[in-house]
Amino acid sequence: MIPENKDSGVSVKKLSVESYKGVRDFYPEDMFVQKYIFDRMRKAVEKFGYVEYGASVLEPAELYRAKSGEEIVNEQTYTFTDRGDREVTLRPEMTPTVARMVVAKRRELPFPLRWYSIPNLFRYEKPQRGRMREHWQLNVDLFGSKNIEADVEILCVANEVMSSLGAKSGDFEIHINNRKLWNSLCEMWKCTPLQQQKLSKLVDRKNKISAKEFEEQGAVILSSYLPNFIEAMNVTTLEKLEKGARETEGYKEIVSLIQDLEKRGINNARFDPTIMRGFDYYTGNIFEVFDANPENRRSLFGGGRYDDLAALFEGDKIPAVGFGAGDVTVRDFLETHGLLPAYGSSAQLYIAVQDETCRDSAEQLSGQLRSQGHNVILDIAHKKLGDQIKTADRQKIPFVTAVGAEEVKSGAYRIKNLADGSEKILKADEISSYLKTQLAL
């Protein structure tokens, strides 16, 4: 038993009500938005036949060491040692987990697999607009196809997710690059692996520094090929790349991807030589989706082809392509474009008790409506009728009715719509169909 600390004179420090830095509490209004976003995402990806999977937030730390990229592993993971001396990481991304799951059952699974999940992920980042320490991320991945049609489909799914959230094609842009093209360019510029690594990091920072700083830092890494590098990083269309680059496999892969997207009516995809993606596992086309409004600088989606990741585990390679779309940046996008849904309670009807002698009848009515599938709140506050209605209104419950002696005697109830003030008098067994039509259930 916990001993009572009555007037011991020891002042107990009160706890802070703030959440841990960089994570969010989801009050019902926030949860409503999150649920809306996830519902739309689920519907959009399921249209293409993707099925949902899940996994634990805990993974062995080694899962991320080989391929997740230096920044994530060394600076951003939450890693601890458990009571059995194992190093455990709170997953910072879902891709290694899903690759592990696919490889574990590769003999039984019917490829190609179209899988999705909406996990929460943890990264020790500096919290800022578009960046949190915990975020949720829609992950959509296609395993078992090397074909360009898989890359095209993945971007069509990304596009469908955006339109299901109300975005128009001019509201966002798909920026595409290719790892093979980047490797070929670096080869043409005679880069060593270390120079290539340094250049990749510099390119990743390009939009955060001035053109002059970019060039100066480039000169520290490269010498004779510096002009070629600067020129390549500033081209806006593929055709402007130097001739050697236009003969590479990576170049051809981007061209087919962009052309196939255009054939499907997706005209907001373009080549962007500065897309690098921080992860080491990408092998082919890579892409990020950006808000056309510069207020949101952070990418909404990021992904690409990663044909070698599965080979980290025992067994053969399994080609794969996919993306992750974050809830924080998507929410910012919806806010910026006026696409956030208006909050409404999941309760449909508030039954106020006007007179305590009528409580049993009110209870009976709420039971009847719940058994008909409605979400009903029965008052328990014993407050004045006006106050009960005010509560219902503040909780954004769409309909209210009051049960008093008159209603019990007549069996007829006045159902009030709190948004427009309109009223309808109905018998108990008519209420359900009325709510269904009014709420489009």
**Contact footprint for ligand HAM (CB under 6 A):** 93, 95, 123, 125, 131-132, 135, 137, 139, 141, 299-303, 322-326, 328-329
From CA 355, how far away is CA 409, in angstroms rounded? 13
Residue type, 325: A
Structure token pair of residue 187: 């080869």
Neighbours of 283 (CB within 10 A): 21
User: Which one, 123 or 374, has the nearer CB to ligand HAM?
Assistant: 123
Put residue 129 in one of left, alpha, beta given phi > 0 → left and psi -120 to 50 → alpha: beta
Are 140 and 322 in contact by the 8 Å Cβ rule? The answer is yes
Reported as type and span, the H/E element at residue 229 is helix 226-234
Nearest CA to 263 out of 152, 356, 100, 387 is that of: 152
Cis peptide before 112 (omega within 30 of 0): yes
Instruction: Report the nearest approach of ligand HAM to the CB of residue 405 (Å).
Output: 56
User: Which one, 330 or 418, has the nearer CB to ligand HAM?
Assistant: 330
Structure token pair of residue 29: 């209004």
From CA 335, how far away is CA 129, in angstroms rounded? 13
From CA 421, how far away is CA 12, in angstroms rounded? 50
Instruction: Tell me which residue has its CB nearest to ligand HAM.
Output: 326
User: Which one, 119 or 404, has the nearer CB to ligand HAM?
Assistant: 119
User: Which one, 124 or 355, has the nearer CB to ligand HAM?
Assistant: 124
User: Which one, 299 or 366, has the nearer CB to ligand HAM?
Assistant: 299
From CA 441, how far away is CA 433, in angstroms rounded? 9
Q: Which residues, in sequence order, are bridge partners of residue 239?
A: none
Are 274 and 202 in contact by the 8 Å Cβ rule? The answer is no
From CA 220, how far away is CA 216, in angstroms rounded? 7
Instruction: Report the nearest approach of ligand HAM to the CB of residue 291 (Å).
Output: 10
Are 66 and 100 in contact by the 8 Å Cβ rule? The answer is no
User: Which one, 23 or 419, has the nearer CB to ligand HAM?
Assistant: 23
User: Which one, 137 or 361, has the nearer CB to ligand HAM?
Assistant: 137
* Distance, C-alpha 283 to centroid of its chain: 23
User: Which one, 190 or 205, has the nearer CB to ligand HAM?
Assistant: 205
Structure token pair of residue 141: 């991945």
Are 346 and 29 in contact by the 8 Å Cβ rule? The answer is no
Instruction: Report the nearest approach of ligand HAM to the CB of residue 204 (Å).
Output: 11
User: Which one, 301 or 350, has the nearer CB to ligand HAM?
Assistant: 301
The owner of tokens 């030589």 is 273
Put residue 91 in one of left, alpha, beta given phi > 0 → left and psi -120 to 50 → alpha: beta
Instruction: Report the nearest approach of ligand HAM to the CB of residue 70 (Å).
Output: 13
